[in-house]
Structure 1
C-alpha cells in the first residue's frame, strides 16, 4: 500500500474541508493507493452525528465525494469537478466505531467524464454506503493554471491498521 502525497498540504490558503490535515473542523482525510483502488481509513467523530451515534448522511456523501476527487487526482493526474452524485445508504455508520473504510475506483470513462464508484464499510467490514460520483475532468493545463495542480505522487508507508485486513478489501 502506498500513501498518496497531498500536493497542497503546504500551500498558503489551502483549507479543504475534506483533506486539509490541519483543519480543526474538517474531515482531515488521508488516502492510500491499493491496486486500482484509492483507500481511506477515517475515524468518525461525534460532532458529525445526524442522530445519536450515527454518522450524518451528508458527511458520508462528503467523504465519498472527497475520495472520488483523489481517484481523479491520482489516476488521471488532473483535477475536475463533481457533475452528479448518487448515494445509496444501506445501513447506519456509527460514530462510535474506531474507524470506517472507504474504497473508490474508476467505474467508467467517456472522454472527459469519469464515474467513480465508492463503497463505505464500517469497522466490522460491513458495507454501509455506496456512491457513484460523475466527475468532469479538466484538461491538465487548466488544472495546473487555475487549481495549482501538480503531480499527485505516492510514497511507501505501512498501511494504517484497518486497511486491507478486513472483509472490505475483497
Structure 2
C-alpha cells in the first residue's frame, strides 16, 4: 500500500472541494495506491446527507469523480477533465457509517480517453454505488503549464489509515 502524495499542496489558489485537506466544507479525501487500484477510505458526515442518515447521491457522484481524477494523476502522470459520467446506486450509503471504501481503476483507454471504474462499498463490503467516469487526458506539457501538474508520487505506508474527510 502506498500513500499518494498530493502534488498541489502549497500551490497558491489550490482549494479543491474534493481533495484539499484544508477546505473547511470540502470532502478532504486522501488517496492510496494498491496495485492497479486507487483507494480512499472516507468518513461520511451528516452535513452531506440527502435524506435522514443517507449520503446525498450528488456527494457520492463527487466522490467517484474525484477518485477517478486521482487514477488519472497517478496512473497516467497527467491531468484531465471529466467528459462523461454514469452512476448507479444500489443501496444507501449511511452517514452514520464509520467509513466507506472507494476503489477505482482503469477500465479502458482509447488514445486520450480513459474510462475509470469506481466502486463505493459500506463497512460490510456491500456494493452501494458504482460509477463509470470517462476522462479526457491532457498532454503532459499542458498539464504542467496550465494546471501546475508536476507529477504524482507515492510514499510507503503500512496500511490504510483512519478515514479521511474528518471535520
Tell me which interval the TM-score lies in, with the shorter structure as reference length: over 0.9
> 1:166 aligns to what?
none
How many angstroms apart in 2 are the aligned matches of 1:118 and 1:78?
Answer: 19
> 1:110 aligns to what?
110
How many angstroms apart in 2 are the aligned matches of 1:23 and 1:124?
Answer: 29
How many angstroms apart in 1 are the aligned matches of 2:24 and 2:75?
Answer: 29
Residue-by-residue CA offset, 1:90-120 (whole Å, 9 max, x unaligned): 0000000000000000000000000000000
How many angstroms apart in 2 are the aligned matches of 1:18 and 1:2?
Answer: 20
Correspondences of 1:113-152 after superposition (within 5 Å): 113-152=113-152
SS at match of 1:81: strand
> 2:9 aligns to what?
9
Contact 1:101 1:162 in 2 (8 A): no
Aligned CA-pair RMSD: 1.1
Q: Which has the higher contact order (CA 8 A, sep 6+)?
A: 2
Structure 1 stretches lacking a partner, 5+ long: 164-170
Structure 2 stretches lacking a partner, 5+ long: none
Residue-by-residue CA offset, 1:37-67 (whole Å, 9 max, x unaligned): 0000000000000000000000000000000
Say whether residues 1:57 and 2:57 are aligned partners.
yes
> 1:33 aligns to what?
33
How many angstroms apart in 2 are the aligned matches of 1:144 and 1:133?
Answer: 23
> 2:23 aligns to what?
23
The two structures have a TM-score, normalised by structure 1, of: 0.94
SS at match of 1:50: coil
